[in-house]
């Protein structure tokens, strides 16, 4: 079965430190990979995507993610965390051969950045 | 700027009631989606629609139905609400060929008593 895993329910980081939110996937073929962020009481907002090309993709708010095909991972990173980055982060994948419908979402990782 | 709006931010209903959740998008998108979001379970797809009057079941359609009479509006219906349908419901839309531009509404937090 095609799936996305976010192994950490929560990540705690001090402000100014680098952060990593992990994501691994299991799909057939070449996946399209996405990160979304959800601030409290808000819908999901698109952060960045990997479709093809450079394995390091840059997105909104200073975030970036690295696609690693051999490790089937797409970890989200930021060099210096801000308190305002505290939110719920979702990794998602469009499975190969996916219909018009679905992205498969991970369960989400709560990022908490302390001053 | 794409806008996806949902009719209510918070809703409280009683067991057995029929519940309508409305979603409207203003960008003429063909594809629309309903998800529910639960802690530890992430987002799970309930139904999606790729055109007016067209619908397909997602991963958890049981207990739900949908209606797409107009392109801009996608309604989620709980025929007889139950307490296990207490959840956050998220609507989304996108063009059919743009996987990188799925836009979400703000969500409706439904409580069924």
User: What integer pLDDT is reported at residue A19 of this predicted model?
Assistant: 97
Q: What is the pLDDT of residue A53?
A: 87
| Contact call for A44 and B90, based on CB within 8 A | yes
Tell me the per-residue pLDDT of A55-91, one tens digit each, with 9 for 90 and over.
999 998 999 999 999 999 999 999 999 999 999 999 9
Separation of alpha carbons B56 and A80, rounded Å: 42
**pLDDT tier at B68 (50, 70, 90 boundaries)?**
very high
pLDDT at site A30: 79
How close B40 gets to chain A, by Cα (Å)?
6
Residues in B closer than 8 angstroms to A43, CB to CB, are 4, 90, 92, 104-107
Output the pLDDT for position A100: 53
Does A99 have pLDDT greater than 60? no
Residues 13..32 of A with a Cβ closer than 8 Å to B: which?
32
* Chain A CB contacts of B102 below 8 Å: 46, 103
Quick: pLDDT tens for A101-112: 578 899 999 999
Report the 10 Å Cβ neighbour count for A56.
Answer: 11
**Cβ–Cβ gap A32/B92 under 8 Å:** no
Asked if residue B6 has pLDDT above 80, the reply is yes
| B102: confidence class by pLDDT, cuts 50, 70, 90 | confident
User: Does A102 reach chain B within 8 Å, measured CB to CB?
Assistant: yes
Residue B37 pLDDT > 60: yes
Q: What is the pLDDT of residues A2-47, one digit of tens each?
A: 789 999 999 999 999 999 999 999 987 778 899 999 998 788 898 9
**Which residues are CB-contacts of A55 (< 8 A; sequence separation ≥ 6)?**
A66, A67, A68, A69
B56, B99, B101 member nearest A94 (Cβ): B99
Question: Smallest CA–CA separation between A72 and chain B, in Å?
Answer: 20
Residue A78 contacts B where some CB pair is shorter than 8 Å: no
CA–CA separation, B88 and A72 (whole Å) = 30
Instruction: Give the pairing type, strands A87-94 and B64-70.
Output: unpaired
Q: In 3D, which of A3, A57, A8, A58 has the Cα closest to residue A28?
A: A3
Any chain B CB within 8 A of the CB of A49? yes
User: Are B33 and A101 a contacting pair at CB < 8 A?
Assistant: yes
User: Computed from CA positions of residues B89, A48, A77, A33, in that sequence, does the dihedral angle turn out positive or negative?
Assistant: positive
Q: What percent of chain B has pLDDT over 90?
A: 74
């Amino acid at each position: 079965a095609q799936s996305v895993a976010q192994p950490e329910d929560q990540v705690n980081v001090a402000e100014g430190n680098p952060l990593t939110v992990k994501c691994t996937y299991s799909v057939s073929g070449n996946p399209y990979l996405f990160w979304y962020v959800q601030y409290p009481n808000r819908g999901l907002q698109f952060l960045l995507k990997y479709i093809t090309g450079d394995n390091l993709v840059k997105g909104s708010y200073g975030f970036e993610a690295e696609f690693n095909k051999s490790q089937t991972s797409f970890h989200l990173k930021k060099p210096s965390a801000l308190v305002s980055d505290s939110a719920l982060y979702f990794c998602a994948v469009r499975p190969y051969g996916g219909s018009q419908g679905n992205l498969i979402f991970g369960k989400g990782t709560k990022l908490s950045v302390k001053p | 700027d794409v806008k996806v709006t949902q009719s209510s931010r918070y809703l409280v209903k009683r067991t057995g009631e029929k519940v309508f959740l409305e979603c409207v998008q203003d960008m003429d998108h063909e594809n629309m989606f309903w998800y529910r979001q639960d802690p530890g379970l992430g987002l799970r797809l309930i139904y999606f629609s790729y055109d007016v009057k067209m619908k397909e079941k997602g991963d958890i359609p049981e207990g739900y139905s949908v209606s797409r009479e107009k392109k801009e509006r996608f309604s989620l219906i709980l025929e007889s609400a139950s307490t296990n349908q207490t959840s956050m419901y998220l609507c989304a839309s996108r063009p059919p060929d743009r996987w990188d531009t799925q836009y979400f509404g703000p969500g409706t937090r439904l409580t069924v008593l």
